[in-house]
Amino acid sequence: MKDKFFTYIQNLQDTITSKLEEVDGKARFKEDVWKRPEGGGGRTRVIENGNVFEKGGVNISGVHGELPKSMQTYFDVADADFFACGLSLVLHPKNPMVPTVHANWRYFEIYNKQGELVDQWFGGGQDLTPYYLFEEDAVHFHSICKKACDKHNPEFYSKYKKRCDDYFWNTHRNEARGIGGLFFDYCKASEKMKMNDWYNFVSEVGDNFLSSYIPIVTKRKDAEFTKLQREWQEIRRGRYVEFNLVHDKGTLFGLKTNGRIESILMSLPPHVQWRYDHQPSSGSEEAKLLEVLKHPKEWV
């Protein structure tokens, strides 16, 4: 399974980066192939200063070795080895009318000291972070998520949509990072879902990523915007940074397993503001967004 999934994310990375370069029309991804001293490595691809994308990354990695003590405690295992692979992407567009997007699809294995597989699971998801709320964009993104889920289980969308709303919640701000999408983790074999069934589900979601996001980008990328709207985008990006550094499990896992820092922090936007107690005007488009972030909606 680990070879099968790693091959899948290698191909998916090629598909996604090719399409994003086409949409941007100017910038190209810079690739870094790196190795992790403890075992494994990855392929980082970053795009910057494009016509559409101010900064973005589409990264894959496959790492293995001894599970660090801190993570042994987290997973409640002793003296274990691990293998983890996944694709992680974040795109920060220039235009504040175009939402930031994040996605991740991953696979994990744990072994005892005899090298025997003792646990394995899939995880992942995708979520949208707009700076200005266009409800038809939110409906489109969630509709594609639901369609992918419904092919495998009619209960998946509502279940994983709620988990996404719960996970991407900035507890210290009491607001969501964005308008959600899907979040699933610890997807393990059961009577209903074998590991190959989970593979089919996760790859279904991955294969539908571009159709969930690119139509939104195409529709909004040439929209006019003001200096004040750009400043609002940078202020909201600050909340994005706060979530990633304070709460995000993937970031924390990378930092605790001696991951490649440049790849881990690729998710951070290039221009951000933190204004003291900034509050948008009542009834404004900015205030409309905040209302939805404080009270997640059912979009489909």
Which amino acids are annotated catalytic?
102
Strand partners, 205: none
Contact, 101 vs 90, CB < 8 A? yes
* Two structure tokens written together for 235: 């202020």
* Two structure tokens written together for 180: 């959600």
What DSSP letter does each residue of the chain carry, written as one string?
A: -HHHHHHHHHHHHHHHHHHHHHHHSS---EEEEEE-TTSEEEEEEEEES-SSEEEEEEEEEEEEEEPPHHHHHHHT-SS-EEEEEEEEEEEEESSTTSPEEEEEEEEEEEE-TT--EEEEEEEEEEEEE-SS--HHHHHHHHHHHHHHHHTT-TTHHHHHHHHHHHHTEETTTTEESSSEEEEEEEE---SS--HHHHHHHHHHHHHTHHHHHHHHHHHHTT----HHHHHHHHHHHHHHHHHHHHT-HHHHHHHHTT--HHHHGGGS-SS----TT--PPTTSHHHHHHHHHHS-----
